[in-house]
A and B are shown apart, each in its own frame.
Chain A
Amino acid sequence: MATTDLTACEIRDAVRRREMSAAEATEASLAAIAALDPKIKAFLAIDADGARRRAADIDRRIAAGENVGLLAGVPVAVKDVLCTANGLPTTCGSKILQNWKAPYNAHVIERLLAEGAVIVGKTNMDEFAMGSSTENSAYFTTRNPWDLERVPGGSSGGSAAAVAARMVPLALGSDTGGSIRQPAALCNVVGLKPTYGRVSRYGLVAFASSLDQIGPFARTVRDAALLLQATAGEDPRDSTCVLNKDQPVPDYLDKLDEPVAPLRIGVPREFFGAGLDPEVEKAVRAALAAYEKQGATLVEIGLPHSTEYAIATYYIVATSEASSNLARYDGVHYGYRSSDHTDMIDMYMRSRAQGFGDEVKRRIMLGTYALSAGYYDAYYKNALRVRRLIRSDFEQAFEKVDCIMGPTTPTPAFRMGEKTADPLSMYLSDVYTVSANLAAIAGVSVPCGFTAAGLPVGLQILSGVFTEDRLLRIARMYEREVDWASRVPPTVAEVRP
């Protein structure tokens, strides 16, 4: 067994017990990156020197008997939407921030450092987290480790692929409409979107502020719980992050293996309708049967607003906020500035026209239109009304059931270029995930099998606000019954001795 097959918990324990050094764990990760990333292209930037220095420091501190935290010596990759003051650029996958170096660390980066993690690099993503395949990255497309001709999903595709290809045991992503859960499903890893307000957004470059949330990627539920543990909790710099006194951060690990019983699982009709790939449905139904076998009750429920209207609502709310959040990239204070402008307005226009990619421009235009005088009520205000209906769909559902399950995505990983010409078909790959963001609830995708062609399928489990502890236990109930996580992607197996 290779060092990179170890889970984060195993590495952490070994490092703490001094059976392995942080340096060894880091070297194994850097070696895997060197061997695999030229094919997979998960990383936009690798900080080998910084990681080595950091690992050496952790080893020194462990030798000195210091407590180095929950993630002692664990290599972690972070999506390039998180500000890092480590000297690497924070590009958000965009040309407009090509050389921009953040002068500060995001709250979650501070947390990782405080808990002894070793940050090895920044992962690729769709530009400003807008996309479902990483094809909207201004730099390159990340490949799915299970089939290099296919996309890893997105927008956090780099993080998902890095974990799936065992280059790192843990990665951070961000989820605005499914950007953690969808790539997790497509890459056979666990991806968790916490409740809105559970993790501070300070230092997460905003796409849609009322939907964005940072969350973990891992190969196991336990590792995802560990990374959530390290990052959750209050931060006075984010007013939308809950106070610990109102929502204490529970211990996500100590009862993780205790099954939830009785368990009532809501199965929404709307998540099994037209457009769902039969192989995906089969895998998800099998997972539901596995829960039934453990004594869970399946309850058919309706979420009338949560598929049909969710995508439309999402694309108004998200683009409106994006058009505002992205207004700051104008070439004046930082980032890309066109060199061929004639005056100030021209500088604004050319910098933005040259600095942003097509999908970002499309969404800025949609959002600008939705917020324009005379249209605001028809679009944005109505979208907020539907958003409240979606939220109440879930609230009503959670009165009857403990969680909701269904497929994470309608199809397995698609081929590169398959959907780029048709933005709407790309948007539909988020059809089951966006409603959780609109409702601000917690959701996770766990591996639940493979198609005949060997492509991973994800089971999505949704639960009410601030119930991540129960959500993780429910996910674990299934995970312990199956063995999907131990499968090694063919690209990874190839490079092994």
Chain B
Amino acid sequence: MTAELVPTIGLEVHMHLATRSKMFCGCRVAYDARPNSLVCPVCLGMPGVLPVMNKLAVELSVRMALALNCTIPDFAKWDRKHYYYPDLPKNYQISQYDQPLGINGYLDVETPAGTRRIGITRVHLEEDAGKLMHAEHGNYSIVDLNRTGTPLLEVVSEPDVRGAEEARLYAETLRQLAVYLGISYCNMQLGQMRCEPNVSLRIGAGPDGKPLYTPISELKNLNSFRSVERAVTFEIARHRQEYLADPGNYTLAKQGKSTRGWRDDEGISFLQRSKEEAHDYRYLPEPDLVPFVPERAWVEELRKNLPELPRARRERYIKMGLSEETADMLLAEAFVANFWDVFHETLEHHQGAGKWPIKRVLELANNWTLQDVRRALNEKTIDAPSLHAEFAKQLADLVVLVETGVINRNTGAEVFNKMIKAKLDLNPKSAAEIVKEENLAQTSDSSAIEAFVDQALAANAKAVEDYRGGKKASFGRLMGEAMKASGGKANPQLVKEILLKKLGG
């Protein structure tokens, strides 16, 4: 018997939604708070409390389902999934059992073997549990319930994945989509994304022509892409070995599904629960919540407002002439790419831009978006909603000032920050106003610049000596000193020319 053993893998991926509050109460979602400080009677599951659905969580979930090409049924409901564990205060989890909010979608994944279309069985929303930690000393455990009730989106794929690398690429593509759409931050160290591959091998066909499989093992809670690939690789090999050792017995029909853990340090999986020990979750329609009946118009509005999806957009950017690296950086988050599109178009048609070559317009759009705008986003002085068309126009005005030599690039960065600050102070100013008010225009007067250079040379005799002695690095120092002497306003190109002349003389 030489049946071909084909890996047959489906993935369950859990993601924390990017909401400020929990799924069924108003508690804040955060990862760095004191244990049990972000809790209330509702998420503590105290007697008498009732859950209230977080509307944003549902909206984000439907958006994700739409981006995964799912059908959004007209009726979705909530169910209670029962199991006893100290990190689950109610001893049931509110989830969606047989009528989830998204079904029958797919995700296209780029692999070395070409594009693979992986079916999405379902997308559903549930609440996360808390965290249980065993005490280092002593026979007890401690529970932190800050995470309890965090909105958790589960994306379940069809068993369409054919290998370990493909499993990793699927998870990475899913992550990119979720982060891009602002659905989840997917920080895996924080547990915001967890992957559970279900691994089995197709053995061939049985007498009735239906395919036969090895038992399914579900690998629990993998929290890095690397561990997804390693664990699946390990599991495929283990299945192969077990099957070849006992082909008559190692089948799905005989052994069903088991749950396995993954020891990343040792690189092995281990049995957690066999089929016999499987939980009976006793699903019950959640009587404390009304079913979710989305209005068609609302769903269509969400669909319409979905941005161009990353795959198509990446192709477009590359066709436009962006490098893959730049395209990927822009595509990290949809709102950054959206801004780039508007900003790029503004620059193309901007009055002052004149007839810059296409390539230069691209460079400028990338440069200002990925440096100045990115930095301000990281520093949280601007946010996604402030990246509107009007802002793109204001930024284009600034770029023209730099490109036409009115100010230098460093001053440009400074003016950008001042524009943001003025806006935050509710006293918005244009780039030109700031340059004028603060007298920041660049000096291109060569006699003035010569004076700044002389000043720098006189004050830094040691550096001059070093340079002349062959230490070319000292040039940067002298250049900086001359710029400093000009108050940052000198035309750097002229400074460089004059400085070279003087040192060479």
* Candidate in A208, A321, A372 with the most chain B CB atoms within 10 angstroms: A321
Least CB distance from B472 to A in Å reads: 69
Cβ of B46: which chain A residues have Cβ within 8 Å of it? 102-104, 334
Interface pair B288/A237, CB less than 8 Å apart: no
Cβ of B283: which chain A residues have Cβ within 8 Å of it? 371, 376
Cβ of A82: which chain B residues have Cβ within 8 Å of it? 48
In the assembled complex, A98 has its CB within 8 A of some CB on chain B: no
* Candidate in B44, B49, B51, B89 with the most chain A CB atoms within 10 angstroms: B49
In the assembled complex, B73 has its CB within 8 A of some CB on chain A: no
In the assembled complex, B212 has its CB within 8 A of some CB on chain A: no
Cβ of B50: which chain A residues have Cβ within 8 Å of it? 201-202, 237-240
Across the interface, name the chain A residue whose C-beta is closest to B84: A348
Q: Which of A182-237 contact B (CB under 8 A)?
A: 201-206, 208-210, 236-237
Interface pair A239/B51, CB less than 8 Å apart: yes
Interface pair B52/A239, CB less than 8 Å apart: yes
User: A203 to B48, alpha carbons, bound, how many Å?
Assistant: 4
Interface pair A330/B288, CB less than 8 Å apart: no
Q: Which of B1-55 contact A (CB under 8 A)?
A: 41, 44-53
Interface pair B284/A327, CB less than 8 Å apart: no
Least CB distance from B289 to A in Å reads: 5
Cβ of A327: which chain B residues have Cβ within 8 Å of it? 82, 84, 90-92
Least CB distance from B303 to A in Å reads: 26
Interface pair A371/B290, CB less than 8 Å apart: no
Interface pair A206/B284, CB less than 8 Å apart: no
User: A376 to B41, alpha carbons, bound, how many Å?
Assistant: 31
Across the interface, name the chain B residue whose C-beta is closest to A327: B91
User: A401 to B84, alpha carbons, bound, how many Å?
Assistant: 48
Least CB distance from B44 to A in Å reads: 7
User: A330 to B44, alpha carbons, bound, how many Å?
Assistant: 13
In the assembled complex, B476 has its CB within 8 A of some CB on chain A: no
Across the interface, name the chain A residue whose C-beta is closest to B288: A209
In the assembled complex, B307 has its CB within 8 A of some CB on chain A: no
User: A323 to B90, alpha carbons, bound, how many Å?
Assistant: 12
User: A376 to B79, alpha carbons, bound, how many Å?
Assistant: 14
User: A83 to B49, alpha carbons, bound, how many Å?
Assistant: 9
Interface pair B282/A83, CB less than 8 Å apart: no
User: A310 to B143, alpha carbons, bound, how many Å?
Assistant: 43
Supposing A104-B41, A237-B52, A239-B290 touch, asked if A328 and B47 sit within 8 A by C-beta, the answer is yes
Least CB distance from B216 to A in Å reads: 18
Supposing A372-B280, A373-B280 touch, asked if A239 and B45 sit within 8 A by C-beta, the answer is no
**Which of these, B41, B45, B284, contacts A380 with CB under 8 Å?**
B284
User: A328 to B46, alpha carbons, bound, how many Å?
Assistant: 8
Cβ of A236: which chain B residues have Cβ within 8 Å of it? 52
Q: Which of B273-313 contact A (CB under 8 A)?
A: 280, 282-284, 287-290
Supposing A240-B290, A344-B86 touch, asked if A324 and B48 sit within 8 A by C-beta, the answer is no
Cβ of B48: which chain A residues have Cβ within 8 Å of it? 82-83, 90, 102, 106, 202-206
Interface pair B290/A333, CB less than 8 Å apart: no
Cβ of B77: which chain A residues have Cβ within 8 Å of it? none
Across the interface, name the chain A residue whose C-beta is closest to B83: A327
Interface pair B284/A320, CB less than 8 Å apart: yes
In the assembled complex, B257 has its CB within 8 A of some CB on chain A: no
User: A371 to B288, alpha carbons, bound, how many Å?
Assistant: 17
**Which of these, A321, A332, A380, contacts B86 with CB under 8 Å?**
A332
A55-73: contact bitstring with B at CB < 8 Å (1 yes, 0 no)?
0000000000000000000
User: A236 to B26, alpha carbons, bound, how many Å?
Assistant: 12
Cβ of A333: which chain B residues have Cβ within 8 Å of it? 44-45, 86, 89, 143
Interface pair A371/B282, CB less than 8 Å apart: yes
Cβ of A209: which chain B residues have Cβ within 8 Å of it? 287-288
In the assembled complex, A435 has its CB within 8 A of some CB on chain B: no
Supposing A330-B91, A333-B89 touch, asked if A239 and B288 sit within 8 A by C-beta, the answer is yes
**Which of these, A205, A210, A330, A371, contacts B84 with CB under 8 Å?**
A330
Cβ of A208: which chain B residues have Cβ within 8 Å of it? 287
Least CB distance from A337 to B in Å reads: 12
Specify the main secondary structure of chain B where it touches its partner: loop
Least CB distance from B217 to A in Å reads: 21
Least CB distance from B95 to A in Å reads: 13
Cβ of A100: which chain B residues have Cβ within 8 Å of it? 47
In the assembled complex, A434 has its CB within 8 A of some CB on chain B: no
In the assembled complex, B80 has its CB within 8 A of some CB on chain A: yes
Interface pair B284/A324, CB less than 8 Å apart: yes
Cβ of A455: which chain B residues have Cβ within 8 Å of it? none
B457-472: contact bitstring with A at CB < 8 Å (1 yes, 0 no)?
0000000000000000
A74-117: contact bitstring with B at CB < 8 Å (1 yes, 0 no)?
00000000110000001010000100101110100000000000
In the assembled complex, A368 has its CB within 8 A of some CB on chain B: yes
Across the interface, name the chain B residue whose C-beta is closest to A317: B287
Supposing A202-B50, A320-B284, A372-B280 touch, asked if A328 and B90 sit within 8 A by C-beta, the answer is yes
A323-346: contact bitstring with B at CB < 8 Å (1 yes, 0 no)?
110011010111000000000100
User: A372 to B278, alpha carbons, bound, how many Å?
Assistant: 13
Cβ of B80: which chain A residues have Cβ within 8 Å of it? 324
Cβ of A104: which chain B residues have Cβ within 8 Å of it? 41, 46
User: A434 to B92, alpha carbons, bound, how many Å?
Assistant: 27
Cβ of B84: which chain A residues have Cβ within 8 Å of it? 327, 330, 348
Cβ of B290: which chain A residues have Cβ within 8 Å of it? 239-240
Q: Which of A160-188 contact B (CB under 8 A)?
A: none
User: A320 to B46, alpha carbons, bound, how many Å?
Assistant: 19
User: A431 to B313, alpha carbons, bound, how many Å?
Assistant: 66
B49-74: contact bitstring with A at CB < 8 Å (1 yes, 0 no)?
11111000000000000000000000
User: A237 to B49, alpha carbons, bound, how many Å?
Assistant: 8
Cβ of A202: which chain B residues have Cβ within 8 Å of it? 48-50
User: A371 to B280, alpha carbons, bound, how many Å?
Assistant: 9
Interface pair B86/A328, CB less than 8 Å apart: no
Interface pair B288/A240, CB less than 8 Å apart: yes
Least CB distance from B287 to A in Å reads: 4
User: A272 to B50, alpha carbons, bound, how many Å?
Assistant: 39
Across the interface, name the chain B residue whose C-beta is closest to A128: B47
Supposing A236-B52, A344-B86, A371-B284 touch, asked if A102 and B47 sit within 8 A by C-beta, the answer is yes
User: A12 to B283, alpha carbons, bound, how many Å?
Assistant: 48
Least CB distance from A112 to B in Å reads: 15
User: A83 to B44, alpha carbons, bound, how many Å?
Assistant: 15
Least CB distance from A104 to B in Å reads: 5
Least CB distance from B45 to A in Å reads: 5
User: A324 to B88, alpha carbons, bound, how many Å?
Assistant: 13
Cβ of A205: which chain B residues have Cβ within 8 Å of it? 47-48
Interface pair B47/A83, CB less than 8 Å apart: yes
User: A195 to B290, alpha carbons, bound, how many Å?
Assistant: 16
User: A376 to B302, alpha carbons, bound, how many Å?
Assistant: 36
A376-411: contact bitstring with B at CB < 8 Å (1 yes, 0 no)?
100010000000000000000000000000000000
Interface pair B287/A321, CB less than 8 Å apart: yes
**Which of these, B52, B53, B89, contacts A328 with CB under 8 Å?**
B89
Interface pair B282/A372, CB less than 8 Å apart: yes
Interface pair A210/B89, CB less than 8 Å apart: no
Across the interface, name the chain B residue whose C-beta is closest to A344: B86
User: A320 to B80, alpha carbons, bound, how many Å?
Assistant: 11
Supposing A97-B47, A104-B41, A202-B48 touch, asked if A324 and B82 sit within 8 A by C-beta, the answer is yes
8 closest Cβ pairs, A-B complex: A327-B91, A209-B287, A371-B282, A210-B287, A205-B47, A203-B48, A83-B48, A205-B48
A-B contact pairs, 16 of them (CB 8 A): A83-B48, A103-B46, A104-B46, A202-B48, A209-B287, A209-B288, A320-B284, A324-B284, A328-B90, A332-B86, A332-B89, A333-B45, A368-B282, A371-B282, A372-B282, A373-B280
**New A-B pairs, 8, CB < 8 Å, besides A97-B47, A102-B47, A380-B284:** A205-B48, A208-B287, A323-B282, A327-B84, A328-B45, A328-B89, A372-B280, A376-B283
Residue positions of A touching B, CB distance < 8 A: 82-83, 90, 92, 97, 100, 102-104, 106, 201-206, 208-210, 236-240, 320-321, 323-324, 327-328, 330, 332-334, 344, 348, 368, 371-373, 376, 380
